[in-house]
Structure 1
Amino acid sequence: MAFDTSDTLNRSDLSDELLPGTSLFHGQYRIVRYINSGGFGITYLAKDSLDREVVIKECFSSTFCRRTETRVRARSLSTRDHMRRIVKSFLNEARSLASLKHPNIVGVHQVFEDNDTAYMAMDYIRGHDLLEIVDEKKATLTPDQIVTIAGKLVSAIGYIHGRGLLHCDISPDNIFVTPEGEPILIDFGAARRSAAGEARKFSGLSVVKDGYSPHELYAGGGNSGPWSDIYSLAASLYHAISGTAPENCQSRLSAKAEKRPDPCRPLAGRVAGYPVGFLESIDRAMAVIPAARFQRAEEWQRVLPQPEPKDRKVVLLRRLVPMGAAGEGPARAVIPEARPAPLPVRPRRTFLRGNEADISGLRRVSGFVGAWLVDSATGHVLAAEQEEGLHDHEATMAAAIGLGRAHLRAMELVDDSVEDILVTLGHSVLLIRPLAQSPKAFLCVTMDAETANPGLARVQLRRIAQTIRL
């Protein structure tokens, strides 16, 4: 998998991986250390040209490849063509991932070729995969947490399917959970494109995992579709809830054909602590016959328990009304272009009720100082979050907003697009992200440079940005 789940390992007994300090892509990335490897790739912790931590996944299959210094070669003439197909498949996977922008899907920064193979640079996030959490007791997941994780992952696969893709390799080891409890779906190495009701494999890497793959993925030309990912996700959740992997779907199908009891016991009626209907929905999603499952993720989402709204103090931002303008109605707070006049102290949390602009989730980023949702054209503050007891918070806010607007104007001059901008300002780190769905607005978060984790902050900022509707 593509994330760090352990402390630094001593890899002196292996020779396939790149050595620390190796430069990639004309010096844009530098390998820090090996993380792990799988059947078709090796992953590393690296730093980019801005000294930010990223994960680099390298296309490398030890079965078909060997390394000569940094370059990757086929092991023999007989494996050369197969190696080329693997590299092509890897690039397909990377490009598929790069096109997906969802808070619960791993983000890809860049796809490139070097050393006669292919690479992709991805978000670096600490945590553990679901298999480690359950089997190795890395953490304890409560029923409420599992219900929340399920809702987010069903949303993620619905997003994937809506873009004509199938994952086809969902399993507990491909579901990563951050320390904050956010599930991240990773590893699209077996992905397929789906169009007009027919699924066409495009990666060339067939993956079947007993216990998690539905029976239609075992046979070439099987009738795979969104219902196949639905089965695999349900089977992964089954493992998290019951503590054991479900029975192989082929065995279940044989039992059904022979009119024997299903060897996979349903969850409903034997596990306590879950909302009414939740376990029943997993049992249905794991039906052996595809037609008996949910056919689309949206169908499953509709029967899942909806999260309870959190109680929070809501205060609408108002613009200061100067003397003699008492007839003016309330408006959004305005930050002047330069040397802002002192503004009144704002409450700790504020957001606009009607516009779904709740940015309080940004308070979870390391080193949090303040966060603001801003109209880039006018400087209006649409929502704000800031640490209690912060000195000179108005100056900090004005500086952050001014920098954000200036950078976005600079990007417009060169007619370029940007996902986010990282600025170091004295003892502070500022992260700015334009809203894709509302180009005239942007989010910015200020962090203390000593404790900030820009990589994790990027993920949280992207996640919050995607929830905002203006």
Structure 2
Amino acid sequence: MTTATTERIGHYEITALLGSGGNGRVHAARDTMLGREVAIKSLRPELMNDTSFLDRFRAEASSLARLNHPNIATLFALQPEGSNLYMIMELVRGRTLESVLQQRGGPLPVQECLAIVAQVADGLAYAHSMGVIHRDIKPSNLMITDDGRVKIMDFGIARVAGSQRLTRDGSIIGTLAYIAPEQLRGSPGDERSDLYSLAIVVYEMLSGAPPFAADTDYDLIQAHVNTKPQRLIPKVPGLSVKAEGAILQALAKKPEQRFPTVRAFSDALGATSLRAEATGVIQNYTRLIANPSDGGSKTIAPQPLPAPGPMGRLRAAVEAAWQRFKAMPIELRGLAIGGVAAVVVAGVVVVDSFRGPTPAPTPRTDTAHAPSERRGPTGNATTGNAASNAARIENMYFDRNTRPATTAATTTETKVATAPPAMTSAELRTAMGEAMERRDYSRAYELASRLAETGNAEALYTLGFLLEKGEGVGQSFVSAAYKYRQAAEKDLAKAQWRLGNLYYTGKGFGAPDYKEARAWYLKAAQQGVAEAQYNLGVIFENGQGIDPDRNAARYWYDLAAAQGNARARQALEALGGASR
């Protein structure tokens, strides 16, 4: 019987044992037919009779076989030999991120961290687009090569969308220090679960330790589910408020409060913009650490800036407040809008209506506009509840034990602030509709955000519409699609139609997806949405994602024209009349 310790497996010549664990081994080998180095992964022989281990091994190979990306270790073949099974893989030479962190003995510089995240996000986003969820993102599964590339390793517990589950419902899958709260509750997890795990890794790279630590597994589970992460800025020099906000949003306890995709997180973090130079950045930092100019150990850290004067502190405080607002999750910004901002600088409370500083020109993202006057939940301009709103947002995202101490003036301001009056769901619906009618989109977004917390489909649709159009909030097709999908899954026909439009144009998805567009158009068309019926006619007439079918096109044009859709009537006439 051939085992993983023999000197030859098929035409692969074993050259070294790279590592072994409780479940298997990895050997370096030479492909004697192609003359290249490979890695060979195998189960321990005694586990080959255990169907659960064997099924997982085959599932990992199946997951990897779907993927071909420079930031994911490539599978060349799954080779049976005797009674064993071997994965023939790309040989990745380098060190795991775990070993890098151990060697450094502390946090990584911000730029190096972003360069790593840029590559991991690229690989994960691709895997997710192929329907593969990793479910075990952690430093030991991220390999950093000698030329600065990052490779995602070990898809052993990955899940492929639509595939048979290898674990029973309610099973916990993943590594406890990096696992998402929903996985702890037994959910199989989705791409937002991988996002949470990546955010844990990012937090650890920047601070030197994961956000949650405990003496027992039970306490660690409770921390994931209930404990808010401590702030990073006080202990990470050079980290922007926006980047901190992105990390904390990605660590939200509920998946729907995180970014909808890993790509959106990378964008918000500022990592994506570093993608083209990421390998060079990692190489440079590695070279500096390995070969410091003075021959001794060297710590890389940003140089401190001179202390600002009083006006500099004022400008910095206003800028920080604005950046904090922009970095908040878009669903929660409305809670921070309720009146005039209170800024405390050197013990003086400056109360005034202000517009945030003009940002440098950047592509439009989930960035809220800053109107000169914010309106409270009653629709009237307010001045008393700004501090209380700020306190509510602060409490949502940060551990109160790490919040910076406030001055007496701030405390006084907070005490006199009053909470906004509660509104029933019916009142919120009415007020939201009225705000949309009078085109007060900032107010509509605030009300829709509050109502959407109840799962109201109309509110979710309104959020999607405002995000798509960039009215009352920064334009974001990705977030718009997410909100439309939530409403569409509640069978709201107009949300199904608009989601179909985003898939058809590719806005928020990178490229058109006619199959998805057709599926959502069909749902809306079956509920009588004339525009969706017309869109289906176009798809069938042009053969977009499907074979051209003029009769099907006539059928849908005919239905839409019967409802008065002028474009459908013209298209129908061009095809020679109704379907026969």
- Aligned partners of 2:197, 2:138: CA distance in 1, in Å? 6
- Aligned partners of 2:220, 2:255: CA distance in 1, in Å? 13
Secondary structure of the corresponding residue to residue 148 of structure 1:
helix
Higher RCO, Cα 8 Å, sep 6+: 1
For 1:395-410, list aligned pairs within 5 A: none
TM superposition score normalised by structure 1: 0.52
Question: Partner of 1:51 in structure 2?
Answer: 35
Could you tell me how far 1:44 is from its partner in structure 2? Answer: 0.3
Could you tell me how far 1:41 is from its partner in structure 2? Answer: 1.9
Q: Is the 8 Å Cα contact of residues 194 and 225 (structure 1) preserved in structure 2?
A: no
**Structure 1 residues 203, 187: CA separation in 2 closer, same or farther (over 3 Å shift)?**
farther
Question: Partner of 2:99 in structure 1?
Answer: 132
Instruction: Select which of 290, 293, 308 maps to 2:255.
Output: 290
Q: Is the 8 Å Cα contact of residues 181 and 224 (structure 2) preserved in structure 1?
A: no
- Code of the residue aligned with 1:244 in structure 2: it is A
Asked if 1:155 corresponds to 2:122, the answer is yes
- Aligned partners of 1:138, 1:47: CA distance in 2, in Å? 35
Could you tell me how far 1:266 is from its partner in structure 2? Answer: 2.9
Question: Partner of 2:9 in structure 1?
Answer: 24
Asked if 1:94 corresponds to 2:61, the answer is yes
Count of aligned positions: 271
**Structure 1 residues 257, 170: CA separation in 2 closer, same or farther (over 3 Å shift)?**
closer
- Aligned partners of 1:243, 1:123: CA distance in 2, in Å? 30
- Aligned partners of 1:172, 1:240: CA distance in 2, in Å? 9
**Structure 1 residues 32, 296: CA separation in 2 closer, same or farther (over 3 Å shift)?**
same
- Aligned partners of 1:256, 1:219: CA distance in 2, in Å? 11
Asked if 1:33 corresponds to 2:16, the answer is yes
- Code of the residue aligned with 1:23 in structure 2: it is R
Q: Is the 8 Å Cα contact of residues 107 and 207 (structure 2) preserved in structure 1?
A: no
**Structure 1 residues 252, 136: CA separation in 2 closer, same or farther (over 3 Å shift)?**
same
Could you tell me how far 1:301 is from its partner in structure 2? Answer: 3.1
- Aligned partners of 1:309, 1:169: CA distance in 2, in Å? 23
TM superposition score normalised by structure 2: 0.42
- Aligned partners of 1:39, 1:187: CA distance in 2, in Å? 14
Which ranges of structure 2 fall in alignment gaps of 5 or more residues?
285-580
- Code of the residue aligned with 2:141 in structure 1: it is N
For 1:73-222, list aligned pairs within 5 A: 80=49, 83-137=50-104, 141-195=108-162, 201-202=165-166, 207-220=173-186, 222=187
**Structure 1 residues 161, 189: CA separation in 2 closer, same or farther (over 3 Å shift)?**
same
**Structure 1 residues 152, 186: CA separation in 2 closer, same or farther (over 3 Å shift)?**
same
Secondary structure of the corresponding residue to residue 232 of structure 2:
coil
Instruction: Select which of 225, 247, 267 maps to 2:232.
Output: 267
Could you tell me how far 1:153 is from its partner in structure 2? Answer: 1.1
Secondary structure of the corresponding residue to residue 31 of structure 1:
strand
Q: Is the 8 Å Cα contact of residues 29 and 38 (structure 2) preserved in structure 1?
A: yes
For 1:296-311, list aligned pairs within 5 A: 296-305=261-270, 306-307=272-273
**Structure 1 residues 206, 93: CA separation in 2 closer, same or farther (over 3 Å shift)?**
farther
Question: Partner of 2:204 in structure 1?
Answer: 239
Q: From the two aligned structures, give the one with the greater helix fraction.
A: 2
- Aligned partners of 2:180, 2:275: CA distance in 1, in Å? 35
Q: Is the 8 Å Cα contact of residues 142 and 153 (structure 2) preserved in structure 1?
A: yes
- Aligned partners of 1:245, 1:308: CA distance in 2, in Å? 24
Choose 244-253 or 87-96, whichever is displaced more.
Answer: 244-253
Which ranges of structure 1 fall in alignment gaps of 5 or more residues?
1-15, 67-72, 75-79, 312-359, 365-470
Secondary structure of the corresponding residue to residue 87 of structure 1:
helix
Could you tell me how far 1:237 is from its partner in structure 2? Answer: 1.5
- Aligned partners of 2:255, 2:121: CA distance in 1, in Å? 17
- Aligned partners of 2:137, 2:165: CA distance in 1, in Å? 16
Could you tell me how far 1:141 is from its partner in structure 2? Answer: 4.2
- Code of the residue aligned with 2:149 in structure 1: it is E
- Code of the residue aligned with 1:183 in structure 2: it is V
- Code of the residue aligned with 2:265 in structure 1: it is W
